[in-house]
Amino acid sequence: MKIAVIGAGAFGSWTAFHLQKAGHHVTLIDRHGPGNPKASSGGESRMIRSIYGKGHQYIQWTARSLALWNSFQSQWQEELYVKTGILWMFSESDDFARDALPVLDQLNLKVNELSKGTVAKRFPQINTDGIKTFFYEPDAGLLRANHSCKVVVDQFIKLGGDYVEKCVKPPECAHGELREIKMDDGATIQADHYIFCCGPWMGTVFPDVIGGLIQPTRQEVFFFDTPPEFMSGHMPMWGHFGDGFRYGIPGSTYHGFKFADDNRGASFDPETGDRNPSPAGMEAAKKYVSLRFPGLKNADIIDTRVCQYENTPDEHFIIDRHPEAENGWLLGGGSGHGFKMGPALGEVMADLVSGQKPINPFFALRRFDGDSLSEINLS
Protein backbone atom coordinates (compact mmCIF):
# COMPACT_ATOMS: atom_id res chain seq x y z
CA MET A 1 0.00 0.00 0.00
CA LYS A 2 0.99 3.64 -0.47
CA ILE A 3 1.01 5.41 2.88
CA ALA A 4 1.69 9.05 3.78
CA VAL A 5 2.84 9.81 7.33
CA ILE A 6 2.71 13.47 8.33
CA GLY A 7 5.11 14.46 11.14
CA ALA A 8 8.57 13.03 11.85
CA GLY A 9 8.66 13.28 15.64
CA ALA A 10 8.86 10.23 17.89
CA PHE A 11 5.38 9.06 16.81
CA GLY A 12 5.61 9.64 13.07
CA SER A 13 9.22 8.56 12.50
CA TRP A 14 8.69 5.14 14.14
CA THR A 15 5.31 4.70 12.40
CA ALA A 16 6.87 5.41 9.00
CA PHE A 17 9.80 3.10 9.78
CA HIS A 18 7.65 0.12 10.82
CA LEU A 19 5.31 0.50 7.82
CA GLN A 20 8.19 0.76 5.35
CA LYS A 21 9.83 -2.26 7.01
CA ALA A 22 6.56 -4.17 6.60
CA GLY A 23 6.84 -3.67 2.81
CA HIS A 24 4.60 -0.65 2.23
CA HIS A 25 5.67 2.35 0.17
CA VAL A 26 5.77 5.20 2.67
CA THR A 27 6.25 8.94 2.23
CA LEU A 28 7.11 10.80 5.44
CA ILE A 29 6.55 14.55 5.44
CA ASP A 30 7.69 17.09 8.04
CA ARG A 31 7.52 20.87 7.91
CA HIS A 32 10.67 21.48 10.02
CA GLY A 33 12.59 18.18 10.11
CA PRO A 34 12.80 15.12 12.41
CA GLY A 35 13.05 16.07 16.10
CA ASN A 36 13.32 19.78 15.22
CA PRO A 37 13.67 22.38 18.02
CA LYS A 38 9.98 23.40 17.81
CA ALA A 39 8.71 19.81 17.98
CA SER A 40 7.72 18.04 21.20
CA SER A 41 10.45 15.50 20.38
CA GLY A 42 13.12 18.22 20.22
CA GLY A 43 16.01 18.60 22.67
CA GLU A 44 18.64 16.09 23.73
CA SER A 45 17.00 13.73 26.19
CA ARG A 46 13.82 12.00 27.35
CA MET A 47 13.25 9.39 30.05
CA ILE A 48 12.22 5.81 29.59
CA ARG A 49 10.80 4.30 32.80
CA SER A 50 8.11 1.71 33.46
CA ILE A 51 6.21 2.72 36.60
CA TYR A 52 2.83 4.01 35.37
CA GLY A 53 0.27 3.60 38.16
CA LYS A 54 -2.79 1.79 36.80
CA GLY A 55 -1.75 2.55 33.21
CA HIS A 56 -1.10 -1.08 32.41
CA GLN A 57 -1.26 -0.57 28.64
CA TYR A 58 1.48 2.06 28.93
CA ILE A 59 3.63 -0.37 30.93
CA GLN A 60 3.23 -2.96 28.17
CA TRP A 61 4.11 -0.44 25.45
CA THR A 62 7.09 0.75 27.50
CA ALA A 63 8.33 -2.83 27.91
CA ARG A 64 7.98 -3.46 24.18
CA SER A 65 9.62 -0.12 23.38
CA LEU A 66 12.55 -0.74 25.73
CA ALA A 67 13.22 -4.01 23.87
CA LEU A 68 13.02 -2.20 20.52
CA TRP A 69 15.21 0.76 21.59
CA ASN A 70 17.82 -1.76 22.73
CA SER A 71 17.58 -4.00 19.72
CA PHE A 72 17.66 -1.22 17.09
CA GLN A 73 20.50 0.67 18.75
CA SER A 74 22.69 -2.41 18.53
CA GLN A 75 21.51 -3.25 15.00
CA TRP A 76 22.18 0.33 13.81
CA GLN A 77 25.34 0.82 15.92
CA GLU A 78 23.94 4.10 17.27
CA GLU A 79 23.61 5.03 20.94
CA LEU A 80 19.92 5.89 21.43
CA TYR A 81 19.39 4.71 25.04
CA VAL A 82 21.73 5.17 28.02
CA LYS A 83 20.87 3.00 31.02
CA THR A 84 20.91 5.17 34.16
CA GLY A 85 18.20 3.70 36.41
CA ILE A 86 15.56 5.92 38.00
CA LEU A 87 14.86 6.66 41.65
CA TRP A 88 11.20 7.45 42.39
CA MET A 89 10.59 9.51 45.54
CA PHE A 90 7.15 9.89 47.16
CA SER A 91 6.42 12.47 49.86
CA GLU A 92 2.82 11.23 50.31
CA SER A 93 0.89 8.52 48.46
CA ASP A 94 2.97 6.06 46.47
CA ASP A 95 0.01 4.42 44.70
CA PHE A 96 1.55 5.42 41.35
CA ALA A 97 4.32 2.89 42.04
CA ARG A 98 2.39 0.26 44.03
CA ASP A 99 -0.44 0.01 41.49
CA ALA A 100 2.12 -0.80 38.80
CA LEU A 101 4.00 -3.52 40.69
CA PRO A 102 1.93 -6.60 39.65
CA VAL A 103 2.21 -5.76 35.95
CA LEU A 104 5.89 -4.89 36.21
CA ASP A 105 6.38 -8.28 37.82
CA GLN A 106 4.45 -10.12 35.08
CA LEU A 107 6.57 -8.40 32.43
CA ASN A 108 9.84 -9.04 34.28
CA LEU A 109 10.52 -5.31 34.60
CA LYS A 110 12.72 -4.87 37.63
CA VAL A 111 11.78 -2.51 40.46
CA ASN A 112 12.92 -2.48 44.10
CA GLU A 113 11.54 -0.58 47.04
CA LEU A 114 14.47 1.01 48.87
CA SER A 115 14.64 2.21 52.47
CA LYS A 116 15.63 5.79 53.26
CA GLY A 117 18.87 4.48 54.80
CA THR A 118 19.77 2.57 51.63
CA VAL A 119 19.08 5.61 49.44
CA ALA A 120 21.13 7.88 51.71
CA LYS A 121 24.04 5.44 51.54
CA ARG A 122 23.81 4.66 47.85
CA PHE A 123 23.02 8.18 46.59
CA PRO A 124 24.43 10.63 49.14
CA GLN A 125 23.98 13.40 46.55
CA ILE A 126 20.22 13.35 47.30
CA ASN A 127 18.68 15.03 50.33
CA THR A 128 15.97 12.57 51.43
CA ASP A 129 14.22 14.91 53.91
CA GLY A 130 10.46 14.85 53.55
CA ILE A 131 10.41 11.70 51.40
CA LYS A 132 8.45 8.73 52.72
CA THR A 133 9.06 5.97 50.17
CA PHE A 134 11.52 5.18 47.38
CA PHE A 135 11.41 2.81 44.40
CA TYR A 136 14.30 2.08 42.07
CA GLU A 137 14.03 0.88 38.45
CA PRO A 138 17.51 -0.23 37.33
CA ASP A 139 16.68 -0.53 33.60
CA ALA A 140 15.28 2.97 33.15
CA GLY A 141 17.41 5.35 31.14
CA LEU A 142 17.76 8.40 28.99
CA LEU A 143 16.76 8.36 25.33
CA ARG A 144 18.54 10.63 22.89
CA ALA A 145 15.48 12.57 21.74
CA ASN A 146 16.15 14.64 18.60
CA HIS A 147 19.07 12.42 17.62
CA SER A 148 16.97 9.26 17.63
CA CYS A 149 14.25 10.87 15.46
CA LYS A 150 16.95 11.67 12.88
CA VAL A 151 18.43 8.16 13.11
CA VAL A 152 15.01 6.49 12.67
CA VAL A 153 14.30 8.66 9.61
CA ASP A 154 17.75 7.81 8.16
CA GLN A 155 16.99 4.11 8.64
CA PHE A 156 13.54 4.59 7.07
CA ILE A 157 15.20 6.18 4.02
CA LYS A 158 17.71 3.30 3.86
CA LEU A 159 14.74 0.92 3.63
CA GLY A 160 13.53 2.84 0.57
CA GLY A 161 11.14 5.32 2.24
CA ASP A 162 10.67 8.83 0.80
CA TYR A 163 11.22 11.80 3.09
CA VAL A 164 9.88 15.24 2.13
CA GLU A 165 10.42 18.50 4.07
CA LYS A 166 7.24 20.51 3.44
CA CYS A 167 4.21 21.79 5.30
CA VAL A 168 0.96 19.86 4.78
CA LYS A 169 -2.21 21.98 4.65
CA PRO A 170 -5.29 21.02 6.68
CA PRO A 171 -6.75 18.16 4.59
CA GLU A 172 -10.24 18.00 3.10
CA CYS A 173 -12.29 14.81 3.36
CA ALA A 174 -14.83 13.94 0.69
CA HIS A 175 -17.23 10.99 0.50
CA GLY A 176 -15.82 9.43 3.66
CA GLU A 177 -12.20 9.42 2.58
CA LEU A 178 -9.08 11.47 1.93
CA ARG A 179 -8.04 11.54 -1.72
CA GLU A 180 -4.84 13.58 -1.37
CA ILE A 181 -2.91 15.96 0.82
CA LYS A 182 -1.71 19.36 -0.37
CA MET A 183 1.56 21.02 0.61
CA ASP A 184 1.97 24.76 1.08
CA ASP A 185 3.96 24.94 -2.22
CA GLY A 186 1.01 23.52 -4.17
CA ALA A 187 2.42 19.97 -4.54
CA THR A 188 0.11 17.05 -3.72
CA ILE A 189 0.59 13.48 -2.49
CA GLN A 190 -1.88 10.65 -3.10
CA ALA A 191 -1.84 7.56 -0.92
CA ASP A 192 -4.09 4.70 0.21
CA HIS A 193 -3.77 5.78 3.86
CA TYR A 194 -2.75 9.02 5.60
CA ILE A 195 -1.43 9.00 9.17
CA PHE A 196 -1.22 12.33 10.97
CA CYS A 197 1.35 12.52 13.78
CA CYS A 198 1.58 16.31 14.04
CA GLY A 199 2.21 16.56 17.80
CA PRO A 200 1.25 19.99 19.19
CA TRP A 201 0.13 21.12 15.70
CA MET A 202 -2.70 18.53 15.55
CA GLY A 203 -5.31 21.10 16.58
CA THR A 204 -4.33 23.49 13.77
CA VAL A 205 -4.17 20.71 11.17
CA PHE A 206 -7.63 19.47 12.29
CA PRO A 207 -9.40 22.53 13.78
CA ASP A 208 -12.80 20.77 13.76
CA VAL A 209 -11.95 17.19 14.69
CA ILE A 210 -9.13 17.86 17.22
CA GLY A 211 -9.15 21.63 17.88
CA GLY A 212 -8.66 22.19 21.61
CA LEU A 213 -8.62 18.46 22.42
CA ILE A 214 -4.84 18.70 22.11
CA GLN A 215 -3.69 21.70 24.09
CA PRO A 216 0.02 22.62 23.92
CA THR A 217 1.42 24.01 27.18
CA ARG A 218 4.69 25.82 27.79
CA GLN A 219 7.25 23.68 29.67
CA GLU A 220 10.61 25.00 30.87
CA VAL A 221 13.66 22.77 31.24
CA PHE A 222 16.95 23.75 32.92
CA PHE A 223 20.41 22.21 32.65
CA PHE A 224 22.92 22.69 35.48
CA ASP A 225 26.69 22.56 35.31
CA THR A 226 27.48 19.04 36.53
CA PRO A 227 30.15 17.97 39.03
CA PRO A 228 31.26 14.32 38.54
CA GLU A 229 29.05 12.91 41.31
CA PHE A 230 25.94 14.16 39.47
CA MET A 231 26.87 12.45 36.20
CA SER A 232 25.20 9.26 34.96
CA GLY A 233 27.05 6.27 36.39
CA HIS A 234 27.20 8.09 39.74
CA MET A 235 23.52 8.84 40.19
CA PRO A 236 20.26 7.80 38.50
CA MET A 237 17.45 9.76 36.89
CA TRP A 238 14.89 10.77 39.49
CA GLY A 239 11.21 11.65 39.82
CA HIS A 240 9.67 13.24 42.93
CA PHE A 241 5.97 13.30 43.74
CA GLY A 242 5.67 16.04 46.37
CA ASP A 243 3.74 19.27 45.80
CA GLY A 244 3.41 18.37 42.10
CA PHE A 245 5.84 16.22 40.14
CA ARG A 246 9.43 17.17 39.36
CA TYR A 247 11.98 15.07 37.54
CA GLY A 248 15.49 15.10 36.16
CA ILE A 249 18.29 13.33 34.37
CA PRO A 250 21.91 13.19 35.56
CA GLY A 251 24.61 14.85 33.50
CA SER A 252 26.04 12.85 30.59
CA THR A 253 28.21 13.35 27.54
CA TYR A 254 25.03 14.71 25.91
CA HIS A 255 24.16 17.49 28.37
CA GLY A 256 24.22 18.89 31.91
CA PHE A 257 22.08 17.86 34.90
CA LYS A 258 18.47 18.26 33.72
CA PHE A 259 15.63 19.59 35.87
CA ALA A 260 11.97 19.95 34.88
CA ASP A 261 8.68 20.64 36.61
CA ASP A 262 5.81 18.57 35.21
CA ASN A 263 3.10 21.06 36.21
CA ARG A 264 1.34 22.25 33.07
CA GLY A 265 2.41 25.75 32.03
CA ALA A 266 0.46 28.37 30.06
CA SER A 267 -1.03 27.66 26.61
CA PHE A 268 1.69 27.73 23.99
CA ASP A 269 1.90 28.04 20.22
CA PRO A 270 4.60 25.65 18.93
CA GLU A 271 5.18 27.84 15.88
CA THR A 272 5.42 31.31 17.42
CA GLY A 273 5.70 30.82 21.22
CA ASP A 274 8.53 32.62 23.08
CA ARG A 275 11.22 30.04 23.89
CA ASN A 276 13.08 32.12 26.47
CA PRO A 277 12.85 30.81 30.04
CA SER A 278 11.06 32.93 32.64
CA PRO A 279 13.04 34.42 35.55
CA ALA A 280 10.44 32.87 37.91
CA GLY A 281 10.97 29.40 36.40
CA MET A 282 14.73 29.77 36.70
CA GLU A 283 14.48 30.82 40.37
CA ALA A 284 12.11 27.93 41.16
CA ALA A 285 14.48 25.46 39.46
CA LYS A 286 17.47 26.75 41.46
CA LYS A 287 15.49 26.64 44.71
CA TYR A 288 14.33 23.04 44.23
CA VAL A 289 17.68 21.75 43.00
CA SER A 290 19.70 23.34 45.80
CA LEU A 291 17.32 21.86 48.39
CA ARG A 292 17.10 18.32 46.98
CA PHE A 293 20.68 18.15 45.63
CA PRO A 294 22.76 20.30 48.03
CA GLY A 295 25.96 19.67 46.03
CA LEU A 296 24.41 21.68 43.17
CA LYS A 297 23.61 24.70 45.35
CA ASN A 298 26.07 26.95 43.54
CA ALA A 299 25.94 25.22 40.15
CA ASP A 300 25.30 27.52 37.19
CA ILE A 301 22.43 26.98 34.81
CA ILE A 302 24.32 26.32 31.60
CA ASP A 303 21.40 25.88 29.20
CA THR A 304 17.61 26.03 29.02
CA ARG A 305 14.82 24.80 26.74
CA VAL A 306 11.23 25.86 26.38
CA CYS A 307 9.34 22.93 24.93
CA GLN A 308 5.63 22.12 24.90
CA TYR A 309 3.55 19.21 26.08
CA GLU A 310 0.67 18.36 23.74
CA ASN A 311 -2.03 17.52 26.29
CA THR A 312 -5.37 15.81 25.90
CA PRO A 313 -8.00 16.51 28.58
CA ASP A 314 -7.28 13.15 30.31
CA GLU A 315 -3.54 13.08 29.41
CA HIS A 316 -4.02 9.83 27.47
CA PHE A 317 -3.01 9.45 23.82
CA ILE A 318 -5.31 9.75 20.82
CA ILE A 319 -5.02 6.71 18.53
CA ASP A 320 -7.94 6.64 16.15
CA ARG A 321 -9.33 6.77 12.67
CA HIS A 322 -10.41 10.18 11.36
CA PRO A 323 -14.19 10.30 11.99
CA GLU A 324 -14.89 11.47 8.41
CA ALA A 325 -12.23 9.52 6.49
CA GLU A 326 -11.96 5.74 6.43
CA ASN A 327 -8.30 6.04 5.33
CA GLY A 328 -7.26 8.89 7.68
CA TRP A 329 -5.55 8.12 10.99
CA LEU A 330 -4.67 10.25 14.02
CA LEU A 331 -1.84 9.56 16.46
CA GLY A 332 -1.02 12.20 19.06
CA GLY A 333 -1.67 13.68 22.49
CA GLY A 334 1.59 12.41 24.00
CA SER A 335 0.75 14.65 27.00
CA GLY A 336 4.30 14.86 28.35
CA HIS A 337 4.96 11.11 28.40
CA GLY A 338 4.83 9.78 24.84
CA PHE A 339 8.41 9.77 23.61
CA LYS A 340 9.54 6.51 25.18
CA MET A 341 6.68 4.60 23.53
CA GLY A 342 7.41 5.73 19.95
CA PRO A 343 8.74 2.30 18.86
CA ALA A 344 5.69 0.39 20.16
CA LEU A 345 3.20 3.00 18.94
CA GLY A 346 4.69 2.73 15.45
CA GLU A 347 3.88 -0.99 15.54
CA VAL A 348 0.36 -0.28 16.84
CA MET A 349 -0.27 2.10 13.92
CA ALA A 350 1.12 -0.39 11.40
CA ASP A 351 -1.30 -3.04 12.76
CA LEU A 352 -4.26 -0.65 12.70
CA VAL A 353 -3.69 0.55 9.16
CA SER A 354 -3.22 -2.97 7.82
CA GLY A 355 -6.42 -4.03 9.62
CA GLN A 356 -4.66 -6.56 11.85
CA LYS A 357 -5.85 -5.04 15.14
CA PRO A 358 -8.96 -3.05 16.13
CA ILE A 359 -8.95 0.47 17.61
CA ASN A 360 -8.74 0.42 21.42
CA PRO A 361 -11.76 2.50 22.56
CA PHE A 362 -9.75 3.85 25.49
CA PHE A 363 -7.64 5.89 23.03
CA ALA A 364 -10.46 6.78 20.61
CA LEU A 365 -11.73 10.33 20.14
CA ARG A 366 -15.27 9.42 21.11
CA ARG A 367 -14.15 9.03 24.73
CA PHE A 368 -14.39 12.82 24.87
CA ASP A 369 -18.10 12.71 23.96
CA GLY A 370 -20.12 12.98 27.15
CA ASP A 371 -18.77 11.01 30.11
CA SER A 372 -17.96 7.71 28.42
CA LEU A 373 -14.33 7.81 29.67
CA SER A 374 -15.14 6.37 33.08
CA GLU A 375 -16.70 3.27 31.47
CA ILE A 376 -13.54 2.25 29.63
CA ASN A 377 -10.69 0.50 31.40
CA LEU A 378 -7.07 1.12 30.45
CA SER A 379 -5.67 -2.01 32.05
Q: Which amino acid is it at 51? A: I
Contact 333, 202 (CB under 8 A): yes
Residues 208 and 227: their CA atoms lie apart, in Å, by 50
Compute the distance between CA of residue 234 and CA of residue 232 in angstroms, rounded to an integer. 5
User: From the CB of 316, what's the least distance to ligand FAD, in Å?
Assistant: 12
Q: Are 29 and 51 in contact (CB under 8 A)?
A: no
Nearer to ligand FAD, 120 or 303 (CB): 303
In angstroms, give the least distance from the CB of 132 to ligand FAD: 24
According to DSSP, the residues that pair with 346 across neighbouring strands are none
Residues in touch with ligand FAD (CB under 6 A):
6-12, 29-32, 36, 39-41, 46-47, 167-168, 197-201, 205, 219, 221, 260, 307-309, 332, 334, 336-340
Nearer to ligand FAD, 29 or 126 (CB): 29
Residue 162 CB, nearest approach to ligand FAD (Å): 14
229: burial class by Cβ within 10 Å (0-12, 13-18, 19+)? middle
Q: Residue 220 Cβ, how far from ligand FAD at the closest point, in Å?
A: 8
> Which residues 6+ apart lie within 8 Å of 355 measured at CB?
none
Closest approach of ligand FAD to the CB of residue 348, in Å: 13
Nearer to ligand FAD among residue 295 and residue 313 (C-beta) = 313
Nearest residue (CB) to ligand FAD, 41 versus 226:
41
Among 141, 152, 149, which Cα is nearest to 62's? 141
Shortest separation between residue 33's beta carbon and ligand FAD, angstroms: 7
DSSP 243: S
Q: Please report how close the Cβ of residue 216 comes to ligand FAD at its closest, in angstroms.
A: 9
Minimum separation from the CB atom of position 174 to ligand FAD (A)? 19
CB 47, CB 142: distance < 8 Å: yes
Nearer to ligand FAD, 30 or 94 (CB): 30
If you write DSSP's letter for every residue of 322-376 in order, what string do you get? -TT-TTEEEEE--TT--GGGHHHHHHHHHHHHTTSSPPPGGGSGGGGSTTGGGGS
Given the complex with ligand FAD, which of 68 and 198 has the nearer CB atom? 198
Euclidean distance between CA atoms 311 and 326, whole angstroms? 25
Buried b (16+ CB within 10 A) or exposed e, 133-147: bbbbbebbbbbbbbb
In the complex with ligand FAD, which residue's Cβ is closer, 111 or 216?
A: 216
Return the number of the residue (120 or 289) whose C-beta is nearest ligand FAD: 289
